[in-house]
Structure 1
Amino acid sequence: MTNFNPLETVRLYINAIKYNYIGMEIPLSNLVGNAMLFMPMAVFLPCLFRPLQKLWLFALTMFLLLVAVEALQLLLACGSCDVDDVLLNLAGTLIVFGILKLPFLQRLLKQLYLLPEPTQPQSAEATEEKTPPNATA
């Protein structure tokens, strides 16, 4: 199955539930599962790659990664290529990314040593090795 229409799968699930064609289990597991599938990336990528701590760069990286996954599914004819998968996966990762940026959670993660302290840029004087004033050569 291939779907290039944004939110088409979501609309189909809503209509199927509305007209009692299917129960809640299938749509809920598909929609929530897709939203949750890549959530760990929001935790690990910014920790492993410091530039990905910026929202725009993280979002762009995730978007490109998710499009690549869907393109591979289309090219290899395995799974289903669905633009809704990209949207739901991206939404899930951005939600977790946003939650992890909440100030109280940032403080907690730093206290638990699960988040590195931000590094301050050092001046040229601070990086030079200085000899103590009383040292002899």
Structure 2
Amino acid sequence: MKTTWFWLIIVSIVTVVFTTGCYADGGRVTAKDVLKQNSEADIIQYNNGNVYSNVTELEWFQDEKSKYTKKKLVGKVIKQTQSSFWFKDLYATKLPEGTNVFSTDDDDVKLSFILIVEHDGEDLYYMRLLEG
């Protein structure tokens, strides 16, 4: 039951962020915006401040998973932190330091809408949060 509530909260936060937009950073969703809404959010930042949220277990994403495969290692998590201040690229809130992060785009890894990370022997999917 706790897991259901957790994902319900995550989906709600992502929805709010998508629909309201965030203008603190030129319209870009920031780690600070996300963590202000949900201090327990599972996010990672990559490519000049783009924030990605874990969508692995979301029901609507289950049929989408098979469309994405790991293409290129783009880095490793540098730091695990819950602090939204000075949240930098390859910082994550739940992933431990050293976790491999992969793009899902062959042509330009910086355009990846989905990142895949390897954690505890499984692949986790993180979707880029976009302004509203």
TM bin (shorter chain): under 0.3
Q: Which has the higher strand share?
A: 2
Higher Rg: 1
- TM-score w.r.t. the length of structure 1 is 0.25
- TM-score w.r.t. the length of structure 2 is 0.26
Q: 1 or 2 for the larger relative contact order (CA 8 Å, sep ≥6)?
A: 1
Q: Which has the higher helix share?
A: 1
